[in-house]
Structure 1
């Protein structure tokens, strides 16, 4: 982790973004108080590759009943909410 003032960050923006890309966290301060935290993305997308279909396969899931409308909602939609 590296801490840098807003002024220094502005002077060397490209350099600090390169550090973040390399995995270094940057804390930006104004008058000694942290105002921003720059961290690398969790799963970087390479500009050359772009997004890949199935890129999150095995990392996300949906409940088996994801597309099912709850019975109470169906009753309300049918006017049987009493």
Structure 2
């Protein structure tokens, strides 16, 4: 592979459009300050087209305890353990939007 073209900061500002053309054509460009490389500009990989929705169906499994929130994590978020859920703070114990009174 060919060495990346190197520009100093001033030259990169002056020749920015040319630098982008080089990157678009697949080259990598290095920007340096006082001879020290500080950044690398590389072409973006083409994005994946997601047209096959559901391709992972049956391949992903959600654990039974997915909604269980251990007390230490609930405490870290400022949620005190619920008396009706003594060991784990469960979403089933969380007040539903319908049961919360708004002043």
TM-score norm. by structure 1 comes to 0.64
Aligned to 1:64: 60
Query: Which structure is higher in RCO with an 8 Å CA cutoff and minimum separation 6?
Result: 1
Q: Cα RMSD (Å) of the superposition?
A: 3.3
For structure 1, the 5+ residue unaligned runs are: 45-53
Between structure 1 and structure 2, the one with the greater Rg is 2
For structure 2, the 5+ residue unaligned runs are: 71-81, 89-103
Number of residue pairs the alignment of both structures matches: 70
Distance 1:70 1:25, change over 3 A: farther
Runs of 4+ in 1 over 2 A off after TM superposition: 72-82
Greater helix content: 1
Distance 1:75 1:9, change over 3 A: closer
TM-score norm. by structure 2 comes to 0.52
